[in-house]
Amino acid sequence: MADVDQVLDQAGLTNPHVREFVAKWAEITGAERVEVVNAEDDARLLRESLDAGELLPVSGGRYYSRSYLKDTARSEERTVVATSKESDRGVYNNWRPADETAATLTERMRGASAGKTMYVIPYLMSPQGSPLEAYAAGVELTDCRPVALHMIRMSRVGVHYINDLREPGSFVRAVHVTGDLPNLGQGTPDDQRLFATVADERTILHYGSSYGGNALLGKIAHGLRQACYDGKDSEAFLAEQFLLLGITDKETGKTYHVVGGFPSASGKTNLSMTLAPDALGDRYHVEFYGDDIAWLWVGDDGRIWAFNPEFGVFGVAKDTNEASNPGAIESIRPGSGAIFTNVAYNPETQEVWWEGRTKNPPQDAGWLDWTGRPIADRTPEEKDEPWAHPNSRFTTTIAQVPNAADDFEDPKGVPVDAIIFGGRTRDREPLIRAITDLAEGVYDGMTLGAEATFAADGLDGQLRYDPMSMRPFMAYSEGEYAAHWLHIIGKATDQPIFAHVNWFQRDPEDGHFRWPGYRENVRALLWLLQFRSGEVKGVETPVGVLPARSELNLDGLEIAEADLEALLTIDVDRWREEMAFREEHLAQFPGLPEEIWDAHRRVAKALDEA
Ligand code: GTP
Ligand code: SPV
Ligand code: MN
């Protein structure tokens, strides 16, 4: 066992609370060595990971990692929020008592890093100097070197972010222990994995994975789950699984900012990195701020302000190509330092590939699927299996995104003009409906959902509800959550407009997407911003204001009349059916504010009278 004090001295890590935290967990996990990580260590750590075979080289100074077969996504069932008050229990947050959860995890982690190095990663989940910086500092301890490399891309990493913090509670204590992945019983009744945020102690303990949100603790665990709790506790802010983008109208010189909550894998990365469609590109410029997390607060000017606490992008690879998301392709180009996880890999050419990268898979020999198996060895039955895992990802920094906003690191954030929600809905939801009332906006967020992907997930036509796209991240009860939203946005004297969008409506006959999606989605946002500023009137419906056909800018877009008609109208019968599902959904949440119920009844009544 290394001399922890000596290592921390050498690294110039002087904060006594952090030192105490590191020493405690070095002792518990039994790590053989301790090492402090700064962003400047990236090149050395990459070399060491390549030498150790943890990473494989991709052409142009990029990298490839493969995770254990049963460790390829966040596990929502194994993720819990723990606090000392049972009133934090929600319907979806897997609440547990703090003391027994911390005790269980301490036992699982005891001795589990024996023989390994424990990397100490001080990080900041905000631009430096932001008004919410007090909630953004953390120290992740991990026994996995590639996790350190991902953290360097996804957050701001360095000792100077934490050295001067005085209070014991002024940084999040985050401990990640990988565990013996082949022997954790993933998906069995004896599953050993446990991912806990002990929110009222600002402590995160994750055991049994080295993948994504399970292991990069600054991202989901701190940036969403812990921050969601801190935001409520302080009554100061909201932390949401939101994208953040800017649209500049070059003709008027005005810039607008939009945040959007879509459930996981429902299009946040794609929308946030999008470009204006070619036909509108001369006039509108879209700027990227963030693709997964935004923190929101009320500024002194009475507006809602936001920033992205992250430093990088951990994006879904599938279907990312020059047409769907040219910005993403550019952000992972040779020289970007990107890390690819669980895509297909060719060790001879050092190239990577995933479904949708090109129309057809590459032809040359030597390709391995995401598990490392040669494609050439596939049996005829296996021939059609995907080469990349459906949740395979790329990791890159925001600075690599070509249309990253110049001010993405500005600590004062940006003012928010619109808050949009969107899920994957095959019918019922029109392209866009604007909502001008705060309670109806929050109600729309609370009834957000995505289509059940497997028949077993739910009844046909019924959504898997994902309130605010925060179902797996809410750190306290849904009722209080809605109240906190009403409180924070309600404090703003100049409130953003709400809207619900849907890029995924399909023709029931042949299943084609009625809306072309991707870059064309900007057209719906432009309408919303014009509606907010009173330039267009829209068409009132019981569920919000829809664009009149003539108001939607369709220059350069070919779309069938029947599709457009379906996208710009509402199906009242399907909506009435949905209202009954919503009633059951909302009734699960004790303490849901009366304003939300009023909004529900208003919409239901309007539909009945329609
Ligand atoms: P997380 O990182 O898991 O939170 O996901 P995300 O919300 O950022 O999702 P992402 O943008 O990566 O999109 C997920 C999938 O939806 C990808 O396979 C996209 O190709 C697809 N997708 C995104 N936007 C559109 C769209 O406008 N139309 C259609 N048809 N598909 C889309
Ligand atoms: C998500 O699953 O919503 C993600 C990826 O953004 S992860 O970091 O794994 O949570
Ligand atoms: Mn996400």
Query: How does pLDDT run across 8-31, given as a tens digit for each residue?
Result: 999 999 999 999 999 999 999 999
Out of 19-33, 440-454, 553-567, least confident range = 440-454
Instruction: Assess whether pLDDT exceeds 70 at residue 38.
Output: yes
Burial of residue 576, with CB atoms counted within 10 A of its CB: 0-12 exposed, 13-18 middle, 19 or more buried? middle
Find the mean pLDDT for residues 448-452. 84
d(CA 64, CA 394): 9
Check if 366 has its Cβ closer than 6 Å to any atom of ligand 1: no
Check if 267 has its Cβ closer than 6 Å to any atom of ligand 1: yes
Check if 213 has its Cβ closer than 6 Å to any atom of ligand 2: yes
Q: Name the residue with the closest Cα to ligand 2, atom 8.
A: 213
CA 550 to each of CA 149, 544, 546, 553: distance values in angstroms, whole numbers, following the listed order: 50, 18, 11, 8
Find the mean pLDDT for residues 378-394. 96
pLDDT over 70, % of the chain: 98
Q: Which ligand is nearest to the CA of 261?
A: 1
Higher confidence at residue 454 or residue 350? 350
For the chain, counts of helices (H) and of strands (E): 15, 30
Check if 30 has its Cβ closer than 6 Å to any atom of ligand 1: no
d(CA 124, CA 137): 5
**How many angstroms separate the alpha carbon of residue 223 from the centre of ligand 3?**
11
Handedness of CA 431, 437, 441, 447 (dihedral sign): negative
Q: Which ligand is nearest to the CA of 266?
A: 1
The pLDDT score that the predictor gives to residue 132 is 98
β-pair partners for 340: 64, 394
The pLDDT score that the predictor gives to residue 452 is 66
Check if 390 has its Cβ closer than 6 Å to any atom of ligand 1: no
Instruction: Assess whether pLDDT exceeds 50 at residue 458.
Output: no
Q: What 3-state class would DSSP assign to 92? A: coil
CA 389 to each of CA 52, 345, 355, 601: distance values in angstroms, whole numbers, following the listed order: 23, 12, 9, 43
CA 242 to each of CA 1, 405, 436, 460, 530: distance values in angstroms, whole numbers, following the listed order: 42, 16, 20, 27, 22
Find the mean pLDDT for residues 140-164. 98
Phi, psi of 221 (to 5 degrees): -65, -45
Q: Name the residue with the closest Cα to ligand 1, atom 12.
A: 316
Q: Which ligand is nearest to the CA of 424?
A: 1
Check if 219 has its Cβ closer than 6 Å to any atom of ligand 2: yes
Check if 312 has its Cβ closer than 6 Å to any atom of ligand 2: no
Check if 310 has its Cβ closer than 6 Å to any atom of ligand 1: no
Check if 524 has its Cβ closer than 6 Å to any atom of ligand 1: no
Check if 272 has its Cβ closer than 6 Å to any atom of ligand 1: no
Strands (E), 496-600: 497-501, 539-541, 544-546
Which among 78, 65, 292 has a CA at the least distance from the CA of 192? 78
The pLDDT score that the predictor gives to residue 502 is 97
Instruction: Say what angle helices 594-609 and 438-446 make with each other, to 10 degrees.
Output: 90
**How many angstroms separate the alpha carbon of residue 261 from the centre of ligand 3?**
9
β-pair partners for 117: 33
Out of 416-420, 450-454, 479-483, 489-493, least confident range = 450-454
Tokens of 590: 């004790």
Q: Which atom number of ligand 1 is nearest to the Cα of residue 316?
A: 12
Check if 39 has its Cβ closer than 6 Å to any atom of ligand 1: no
d(CA 417, CA 497): 6
Q: Tell me, letter by letter, the H, E, C secondary structure of 175-217.
A: EEECCCHHHCCCCCCCCCCEEEEEHHHCEEEEECCCCHHHHCC
Residue 384 is given by DSSP the state: T
Check if 292 has its Cβ closer than 6 Å to any atom of ligand 1: yes
**How many angstroms separate the alpha carbon of residue 311 from the centre of ligand 2?**
15
Q: Name the residue with the closest Cα to ligand 1, atom 27.
A: 517
d(CA 152, CA 166): 24
Q: Name the residue with the closest Cα to ligand 1, atom 20.
A: 319
Instruction: Assess whether pLDDT exceeds 90 at residue 107.
Output: yes
pLDDT over 90, % of the chain: 95
Check if 319 has its Cβ closer than 6 Å to any atom of ligand 1: yes
- Are residues 586 and 596 in contact, defined by beta-carbon separation less than 8 angstroms? yes
Q: How confident is the model at residue 364 (pLDDT cuts 50, 70, 90)?
A: confident
Find the mean pLDDT for residues 449-476. 76
Beta-sheet pairing, 137-142 with 117-124: antiparallel
Q: Name the residue with the closest Cα to ligand 1, atom 26.
A: 517
Instruction: Assess whether pLDDT exceeds 80 at residue 244.
Output: yes
Check if 264 has its Cβ closer than 6 Å to any atom of ligand 2: yes
d(CA 349, CA 137): 41
**How many angstroms separate the alpha carbon of residue 294 from the centre of ligand 1?**
18
Q: How confident is the prediction for the chain on average, in pLDDT?
A: 96
**How many angstroms separate the alpha carbon of residue 245 from the centre of ligand 3?**
15
**How many angstroms separate the alpha carbon of residue 469 from the centre of ligand 2?**
12
The pLDDT score that the predictor gives to residue 460 is 57
